[in-house]
Amino acid sequence: MARPRRIVLVRHGESEGNSDDTVYEREPDHALRLTETGRRQAGATGARLREMFGQEQVSVYVSPYRRAHETLRAFDLDLERVRIREEPRLREQDWGNWQDREDVRLQKAYRDAYGHFFYRFAQGESGADVYDRVGAFLESLYRSFEAPDSPENVLLVTHGLTMRLFCMRWFHWSVAEFESLSNPNNGEIRVLELGADGKYTLDRPFDRWRIPESYGITG
């Protein structure tokens, strides 16, 4: 099995929804575009990625959301060296159709109180649902490593919550650990690097907003 040297996770650049939450009342979440700030963020991230990958091959998986595709396009990667697949399982947590701003703000407040992993939006998903589809994607990713031409690098262009849940699934973090971590900023990178011991480590931690709550272990 030819495992990649790096698995790189990138959050999309700033979107219209990040800068103005009223847009969810008029536009589908999946159709939102990058802002000018988001395009600059994605361009700067692309420069870092091009330096990181150099002349190596890259297998790219991108969320089907427009802002993720626009982010990937702004990376300006050498298309002779990348293999791109749209991957619906890397999409944003579904909130459900068009949204009323005040209702979404209320539900987000409920989610903050209830917990991001278990709270389910009324017409959408819970964090646990996203965790399950990320787990299904990982099974496909592992199988891709068996190909003789498996690239040295894997790049996932996705969303903040999905990035945290991918790492939770990969590193077997607890729900309490997940709940203690903040989303990365728009355009931010995390890299899983393969060590000499055959194990992956995260290049830097996610910001932590609180100490993880511990329920202890019962016998």
Q: What is the pTM of this model?
A: 0.94
Q: Which CATH number fits domain 6-92+130-202: 3.40.50.1240, 3.40.50.300, 3.40.50.1370, 2.40.30.160?
A: 3.40.50.1240
Question: What are the structure tokens assigned to 69, written together?
Answer: 């595709």
The residues carrying an active-site annotation are 12, 92
Q: pLDDT tens digit string along 41-94?
A: 999 999 999 999 999 999 999 999 999 999 999 999 999 999 999 999 999 999
Rounded to whole angstroms, the Cα distance separating 199 from 2 reads 13
pLDDT recorded at residue 55: 95
How far does CA 140 lie from the centroid of its chain? Answer: 16
Phi, psi of 114 (to 5 degrees): -85, -35
Segment 187-214, tens digit of pLDDT: 999 999 999 999 999 999 999 988 887 7
Tokens of 8: 């790189």
Average pLDDT, the chain: 94
Asked if pLDDT for residue 217 goes beyond 60, the answer is: no
